[in-house]
Amino acid sequence: MTEVDPSGYAPEWLRLREGADSVARAASLVDSLAPATPVVVRDLGCGTGSMSRWLTGRLPRPQRWILHDQDPGLVRLAVAGVENATGEVRDVTRLTAADLSGTSLVTASALLDLFTAEEIRRLVDACAGARVPALLTLSVVGRVALTPADPRDEAVGAAFNAHQRREGRLGPEAVAFAAAEFAARGFTMRRVATPWRLGAGDAALMETWFSGWVSAAVEENPALDLSGYRRELESVVVAHEDLLALP
């Protein structure tokens, strides 16, 4: 849920992006984990459960999943699609070390860049207090490349990034900020670039993403002159980063 979601975080949007998310995530970071068994994973902002489905086959068994989201409908969908999962409807920015007791791994996808600095600090404090690793994937870092290009792409991107920072959210700066906070508490960090690379087979996703990207930019800066700006895209690269923090 990183880019402004053109469908209001509707299941349709989350399903549309699931394939691109799965391809982009850094599976190499999972290899750095050595979770105790049985594995207990908390998936924050679980959406429809795509992160849990991606990780299930990459972690030892037996597994227990605790899926968190503020949307009860998404929690129900996620739990139905993930083996041995329970759901919790709650504000994940308020989790404490006590809440994470007994957790082997905290994970999230396309969520970190929606947090404020204080929300990230609380999450890091909770992980540090419980001595639990965190795998936080697919956070936007503020760069896109469109083909064919348009001279206005840079201005649209800047307006979109400003929109991401509304209400104190860190947006493109979230990964770097979170890494520094984890490091300050003694965690070891690994960061991997995990861009979406969309092409001819991703036409529906490209169009939906592009529409949301432009709409957010115009909402942030109505003075943008985008007459004739929309076009049929051949490819899109959306830069993300995955972050693994190990206590």
Domains in the chain (CATH in brackets) are: 11-144+168-197+240-246 (3.40.50.150)
Per-residue pLDDT, averaged over 36-47, amounts to: 90
Is residue 191 within 8 Å of residue 156, measured between CB atoms?
no
Judged against a pLDDT cut of 50, whether residue 70 lies above it is answered with yes
Q: Is the pLDDT of residue 46 over 80?
A: yes
Average pLDDT over residues 54-58: 93
Confidence of residue 170 (pLDDT cuts 50, 70, 90): very high
Report DSSP state, residue 47. Answer: T
Long-range contacts, 61-65 (Cβ 8 Å, 24+): 61/37, 62/37, 62/38, 63/38, 63/39, 64/38, 64/39, 64/40, 65/41
pLDDT value at position 224? Answer: 96
What percent of the chain clears pLDDT 70, i.e. is strictly above it? 96
41 close to 65: Cβ distance less than 8 angstroms: yes
SS3 call for 89: strand
Nearest in space to 137 (alpha carbons), one of 28, 22, 23, 242: 242
pLDDT band at 34 (very low <50, low <70, confident <90, very high): confident
At 32 the pLDDT is 87
The better pLDDT of the pair 3, 182 is held by 182
Structure tokens at 233: 């895209």
Closest listed residue to residue 127, CA positions, set 44, 227, 57: 44
Task: Grade residue 75 by pLDDT with cuts at 50, 70 and 90.
Answer: very high
DSSP structure class, residue 91: -
> How do residues 80-92 score in pLDDT, each as one tens digit?
999 999 999 999 9
Model confidence band, residue 9 (pLDDT cutoffs 50, 70, 90): low
Partnered with residue 197 across adjacent β-strands are 237
